[in-house]
Structure 1
Amino acid sequence: MKRVTLLALATALPSMALAEAHMAGEGPAVSYGQRPAYLIDKMEDGELKQKLMSCEGQTPQRTAFSIGHRGAPLMFPEHTVQSNLAAARQGAGILECDVTFTADHELVCRHAQNDLHTTTDILVTDLAGKCTTPFSPAGEGTEAAAECRTSDLTLAEFRELSPKMDAANKAATTAEEYQGGTADWRTDLYVDGAELMTHAESIELFDSLGADFTPELKSASVEMPHDGFSQEDYAQKLIDEYKAAEIDPSRVWAQSFNLDDVKYWIENEPEFGAQAVYLDDRYEAEDDDEGLIDPNDPATFKPTMQELADMGVNYIAPPMWMLVTLDEAGEIVPSAYAEEAKAAGLNLITWTLERSGPLAGGGGWYFQSVTDAIDDDGDYYELLDVLAQDVGVAGVFSDWPASVTYYANCMGL
């Protein structure tokens, strides 16, 4: 009995010390784990591999170059306390809460307002009846489907949910079966006990972890204004929660795909607007839309990079593939988009490393402009090196921040 007591005490002490460090804003100790070394081992022999191997014994340090994308969702349920703890322990100096709102207009961390059916257990709870579109089973020629929004629930109801890995079994015939579908290169190992967060709670947590903040104002799935809650109210409430927590604006990079949100912050909250990030998604426009961007044709950049800068935009954040292309020798090099952005004095942040899983098949969506050069997991570092050294990005979102942290520490970023 005495041995058990002593063991319990010894086990508790590190947690107590960690909690005290969190309260002091120092953050947890940083550890790389196994993945960076695994990726380096997979690289082709060369100068970059040798450089990264030479840093194996370095002491890990937190870095703002490494940004936790929804925490560390390669292995942990996204936007949970545990996912962000993991990201902080991997050295992410900036953490993300994607912000949406509930039926009573409280701000919570979710990647989309309408993702509760794939990121929580709502369909197997008593709250399933509140979903915008109830669960329907797979049938002949049809997939299982549902749509559940945070705006379907009050904050109190949202808190009743349990998070899970973002996935769905589209062949499911029951709501219980629909809970599956996690990609085989992810895991459900860390789902048990994961905790959802409000935006205000994320601010408190990230601050205690010694990290800075990059909240993203997500597009609403409901028509705006929503019960008198306008888009401007929404954008302002996000900033107000940092003010209430007395967070210095220099620690906040508020993001939005909606340029009007960014302009609102620039005009109405200039201290926060100075670091507001325009998530440029004009690559998703239709082929007949004049806004469609070809990352290698500056004539398609409307508004131009200089026009964005003249609006007061200082940061833009396109996906990785927009910033790179292949030269005639098949080497990864900066795209015209990247060159024009830098020429206009815009700071670049990009997303999302390690969201593609194994790269043997070319990397998929996030690597689409350089697919012919991608055939191995070691190429994560090949691309990251071009983004950091040649494109000159200020930070990189990652689903497993340790890999970016290792690179940034090794290169002195």
Structure 2
Amino acid sequence: MKRLALGAALALLPLVAPAQADEPLTYGVRPFFLIDKLPDGALKEKLLSCTGQTPSRTTFSIGHRGAPLQFPEHTVQSNLAAARQGAGILECDVAFTADKELVCRHAQNDLHTTTNIVVTDLADKCTKPFTPASGDTPAAAECRTSDLTLAEFETLAPKMDAADKTATTAEAYLGGVPTWRTTLFADGAELLTHKQSIALFKSLGAKFTPELKDPAEAMPFDGFSMDDYAQKMIDEYKEAGIPAADVFPQSFNIDVVKYWVEHEPEFGEQAVFLVEPGDDWKHDDQSTWVDTPAEIASMGIKYLAPSINMLVALDDDGAIVASDYATAAREAGLKLISWSLERSGPLASGGGWYYNSVTDAIDTDSDYYAVLDVLAQDVGVVGVFSDWPATVTYYANCFGL
């Protein structure tokens, strides 16, 4: 029994000695790189006026999977980097293993791109083991957390999220990292269970925003229902003694969010409904909105987290402004969070999906700050996810957010 108790205690500890909550923070060079690119004007002048400020932690700055612009996502090291950049809220995307233990993964079926599983002895356990590229058929694999027990999951080595679809060997398939990311900080990175993330984030003085991922498996999974899954995630915060006020549970599944609101009202008070646009979605046409912000608010949901492209639009002069959807959400009394800044890499070619509502106004990396300024000042968001939190932390500190 003593050995079991010790094992349970160790499961709550982070895998490395973490930075402390009072460790001095750093912006690094990236915020200044982006500010230098801004055109002359009020925004650049304001941001330059804050160059001598001392960084401070802010809940406006949310680590999206940690700091995955340069660190393997959902690892100890990625979250340490985000915390050291002043992220006041850190994220664990929650998936489950074959033995129904909770781990931090962006998707239940991403192990083939985020770990080394395809070159390990566990490769044959994958839902779809690696197949090499052949002719016009790309290399492929699908490996799920639910293919493995927790003990097996913990043997994997995390990597930058990527795959080389031209690969003819499993070793080559591990490549494919975009040129604007890096593998410099992948060596020795460590995976996290959900319980370990709670212990780590607490030690860093950060708040928590776990996202319950819709599983790739049909539910219930071996008797494990969606309600069981949603409840288990909340229970792990209760068991760790984390106040509900420090937790912002998220889901794209509105039934999950409603479950928390109804069954765990203290945690449901800060439950976040994540949304993204459909193919026919238009910011100024309510008939294309699945649920209007007013309808969402009527369900007892208080936090709404749309993707960036839902909250910004272009006015008649081509300037970036708050979208009609953002205005409707604010009028409904919803608190807004947006995602995910610096997910798109260099913005010289329009910024990709996250900026497809304002593509014509996006042509340089400095537009990260142009969009962030509209989100903060015009849309009125209370937090922004970023793949490199220092960018958001600097802005928030400068504007007193």
Q: TM-score range by the shorter chain?
A: over 0.9
CA contact (8 A) 1:166 1:182 kept: yes
Is residue 267 of structure 1 aligned with residue 262 of structure 2? yes
Aligned partner of 1:3 in structure 2 is none
Distance in 2 between residues matched to 1:130 and 1:28, nearest whole Å: 42
Report the count of equivalent residues: 386
Identical pairs, percent: 69
CA contact (8 A) 1:27 1:211 kept: no
Distance in 1 between residues matched to 2:285 and 2:358, nearest whole Å: 16
Aligned partner of 1:65 in structure 2 is 60
Report matched runs for 1:301-380 at 5 Å. Answer: 301-380=289-368
Q: Secondary structure at the match of 1:223?
A: coil
Gaps of 5+ in 2: 1-15
Moved more, 297-306 or 356-365: 297-306
How many angstroms does 1:301 deviate by? 2.9
Distance in 1 between residues matched to 2:18 and 2:300, nearest whole Å: 40
TM-score scaled to structure 2, two decimals?
0.95
Write the deviation string for residues 29-62 of structure 1: whole angstroms up to 9, x where unpaired: 2100000000001111111001101100000000
Aligned partner of 2:188 in structure 1 is 193
Distance in 2 between residues matched to 1:305 and 1:81, nearest whole Å: 36
Aligned partner of 2:228 in structure 1 is 233
Distance in 2 between residues matched to 1:193 and 1:362, nearest whole Å: 35
Distance in 2 between residues matched to 1:301 and 1:44, nearest whole Å: 35
Is residue 86 of structure 1 aligned with residue 74 of structure 2? no
Distance in 2 between residues matched to 1:27 and 1:331, nearest whole Å: 40
How many angstroms does 1:20 deviate by? 8.8
Q: Secondary structure at the match of 1:49?
A: helix
Aligned partner of 1:391 in structure 2 is 379
Report matched runs for 1:155-194 at 5 Å. Answer: 155-194=150-189
Aligned partner of 2:3 in structure 1 is none
How many angstroms does 1:170 deviate by? 0.5
CA contact (8 A) 2:260 2:268 kept: yes
State the superposition RMSD in angstroms: 1.2
Q: Secondary structure at the match of 2:344?
A: coil
TM-score scaled to structure 1, two decimals?
0.92
Q: Secondary structure at the match of 1:358?
A: coil
CA contact (8 A) 1:69 1:96 kept: yes
Amino acid in structure 2 at the alignment position of 1:386: V
Distance in 2 between residues matched to 1:303 and 1:238, nearest whole Å: 26
CA contact (8 A) 2:71 2:160 kept: yes
Gaps of 5+ in 1: 1-17, 288-292
Amino acid in structure 2 at the alignment position of 1:141: D
Distance in 2 between residues matched to 1:207 and 1:132, nearest whole Å: 35
How many angstroms does 1:139 deviate by? 0.9
How many angstroms does 1:303 deviate by? 2.4
CA contact (8 A) 1:27 1:88 kept: no
